[in-house]
Structure 1
Amino acid sequence: MDDSKMPPEANNNNVPKKKFYSRKRFLIPTFIFLLLAGVVVGYWYLFLKGYVGTDDAYIDGDPVTISPKILGRITMLAADEGDTVASGEVLVNLDDSDLKAQEAELGANLELTRKNLPVAGINLDKAKDDFSRASMQFNSNVITKEQFDHARKALELAEAQYAVARSQITASEARLAVIETQLKNTKIISPTLGVVAKKWSVVGDIVQPGQPIFTLYDLKNIWITANFEETKIGVIAPGTPVEISVDSYPDRKFTGKVLLIGAATASQFSLIPPDNASGNFTKVTQRIPVKISIEQPANDAPASLLPGMSVVVKIREKEN
């Protein structure tokens, strides 16, 4: 039906309906927006107000590098990545065949020099007696000065030979002690209870002194390093409780305490520290590392917390 043919009352009745639907289209999104805003504000007020947090955080620990003290070829590796090793456990054997041969040779030389010492001692005692007798005879004009000098020189020679024999024993003992120490160093032991995080070498490799073979972590001595913006450091204090979420265990809540606040920003220890002397300066909010302890939940089985895992921390602001 044509609207021009409809009664005027019908057209007037449609106007309020159009206004109602127009308002409804505006009010519903506004209501949803206000509801979401209220939820966000309520969540912030209930759970975030009075806290500072960061997700720039990870589990940290002191790495222990297992390396040799001597040059050698690896003949045995007793662990692999992920293995737990005990304190005092032998992790690496180096080839000791050459050292054992040297030990046998030095042992034989030491035995020989020890046998020569009594002979040198007997010769020295005889030379002392001869010189004593020659001294009395020379004073009594029984022998000539040349004969007396000959007895004196014989005594000096015997004393020198005895000293050489003793020094040879000392030198042989020292060389043998060095070889024995090197033999002990062919067995490399773990200095602590830990987990092998990285294996750097394989059997057959020739390793230099100080070259890494394993890297261990003591999992009983781990902590969290959280990098906070410098603008938040003022509200953090040592001893403050910390709520911790570990990405690998989203259903568990861990706790801890602030142990210490770094004395410098993280950028100061980067490979290339910032240099603003050139005049090209852009202000960037720096981050300061905060060391945090971490404790396992009391009612759950211990979680396997490994260095490098990402975490989120939330720290209650200190009271002014």
Structure 2
Amino acid sequence: MAALPLAFVAAGGWYWVTGRRWASTENAYVQQNKVLVAPEVEGRIAEVRVGQNQTVKPGDVLFRIDDAVYRIALEKADGAVALARLQVEELRTRLKDAELKADTARNTLAFQEVQFGRQDKLRRTGNTTEAQYDSARHDLDLARQAVAEAEQGVADALVALGGDADIETDKHPSVLGALAAQNSARLDLERAVVRAPTTGTVSQVANLQVGQYIGSGSPAMAIIDTTSTWVEANFKETDLGHMRAGQTAELTLDAYPDVTIKGHVESFGGGTGAIFSLLPAQNATGNWVKVVQRVPVRIALDEPTSLPLKAGLSVGVDVDTGFVRPLPAFLRTALDTLGLGASPEKLAAK
């Protein structure tokens, strides 16, 4: 008969030691990244290539926007590039013409300087008239002015080439601008075909219809990224005292109650759920009632599972915190009597 009370003592000691080792919650759900797909250009839907709940991979075509406007814009940009290149070649020809005129003006100046020198000598000896002397000086002034104008023409032509007579055609600023516009037009044309950014399951396709006009940046459908799966468990704040990142967890899904999935604590939320609600609670009132808050804890799966996990499925989570409470003195005495020892770790192991 004495064994029965001792058994109750042992059971009570075991419960006391291990009672707070596991932190559990049913307020947990499967989470997967939800990617909203929005076109980067506007236009009318010309074709929808996917159906509801279809699995896609990166690069698969989802839908196509009528690209007639964007093809015309690209052709216009191609013409602008060709025109800009032609204009650069015209600037090169203009520079050569200006340099040729400058050389001619310098040669004329040299000739007029010689002519004026002769007239100056003849004037000193009285063998020329004042009219001939004035004419020679006037011609020299005109030649000097022509050289200045020709050199200014060379400078202007050089500036038009960006200050470099040997600049590559496609490095000229006007050509660079035209090429940028061409690349932008080509990119817009490519963006008229909307492709899947990730692997996942397509959702909300029913709202997308051929002929519908859609604006740039307007969400058209969603893709549930099946390559990123985790569990968000909302634990009570009273369960977090001994919970740490890396601790093991056991996951049980309501959809698959006979299967236990192994995981571990990955991270803790930056605040309680109430902090991030649309209308946070205002507690600075006289009618305040304390409510236990919950903190989101991210649980990572230890390895991929073959189960078709869906975002939003309910999950039961048990986290092994490894916490062992010390025994009260009377339980230690009773356990010593049973030969179990007073170590909580030994009791937990037994």
TM-score range with shorter-chain normalisation? 0.7 to 0.9
The corresponding residue for 2:318 is 314
| Alpha-carbon distance in 2 for matches of 1:237, 1:153 | 78
- Distance in 2 of aligned mates of 1:85 and 1:297: 19
Q: Determine what percentage of the aligned residue pairs are the same residue.
A: 27
Pick from 152, 162, 177: which aligns with 1:171? 177
1:258 aligns with 2:265: yes
Q: Distance in 2 between matches of 1:289 and 1:161?
A: 64
| Gap runs ≥5 in structure 1 | 1-37
Q: Post-superposition shift, 1:88?
A: 1.8
- 1:274 Cα offset (Å): 1.8
How far 1:134 moved relative to its partner? Answer: 1.1
Say how many residue pairs are matched: 275
Aligned counterpart for 1:237 among listed residues 233, 244, 253: 244
Using the TM superposition, name which of 169-178 and 124-133 deviates more: 169-178
**Are positions 1:180 and 2:186 aligned together?**
yes
Q: Which residue of 1 aligns with 2:24?
A: 53
Instruction: State the TM-score, normalizing by the size of structure 1.
Output: 0.75
Equivalent AA in structure 2 for residue 94 of structure 1: I
Correspondence 1:150-165 to 2 at 5 A: 150-156=149-155, 158-159=157-158
For the aligned residue pairs, the C-alpha RMSD in angstroms reads 2.9
Q: In the alignment, is residue 196 of structure 1 matched against residue 202 of structure 2? A: yes
Report whether the alignment pairs 1:104 with 2:75.
Answer: yes
Partner SS, residue 127 of structure 1: helix
- Alignment of 1:267 with 2:256, yes or no, is no
Summarize deviations over 1:270-314 as a string: whole Å, max 9, x none: 11112223444221110011111235798xxx2110111111112
User: For the residues of structure 2 that align with 1:237 and 1:216, how far apart are their CA atoms?
Assistant: 33
**Matched position secondary structure for 1:57:** strand
Quote how far apart the aligned CAs of 1:161 are.
Answer: 5.6
Once the two structures are superposed, residues 178-197 of structure 1 have per-residue CA deviations (whole angstroms, 9 ceiling, x without a partner) of: 10111121122222211123
Tell me which amino acid in the other structure corresponds to 1:198.
Q
Label 1:197 to 1:153 Cα distance change in 2 as closer, same or farther (>3 A).
same
Contact map agreement 1:237 1:318 (CA 8 A) in 2: no
* Counterpart-to-counterpart distance in 2, 1:220 and 1:157: 62
Residues 294 and 159 (structure 1), Cα distance of their counterparts in 2 relative to 1, 3 Å cut = closer
CA–CA separation in structure 2 for the residues paired with 1:280 and 1:55: 30
1:133 aligns with 2:104: yes
Distance (whole Å) between structure 2 residues aligned to residue 150 and residue 259 of structure 1: 78
CA 1:154–1:261 in 2, change beyond 3 Å: closer, same or farther? closer
Corresponding residue number in structure 1 for 2:5: none
| Alpha-carbon separation, structure 2, partners of 1:309 and 1:283 | 30
Q: CA deviation at 1:256?
A: 1.4
Alignment-derived partner of residue 290 in structure 1: 297
Q: So what's the TM-score if we normalise by structure 2?
A: 0.69
1:82 alignment partner in structure 2:
53
For residue 330 of structure 2, what is the aligned residue in structure 1?
none
Residue 216 of structure 1: which of 223, 228, 238 is its match? 223
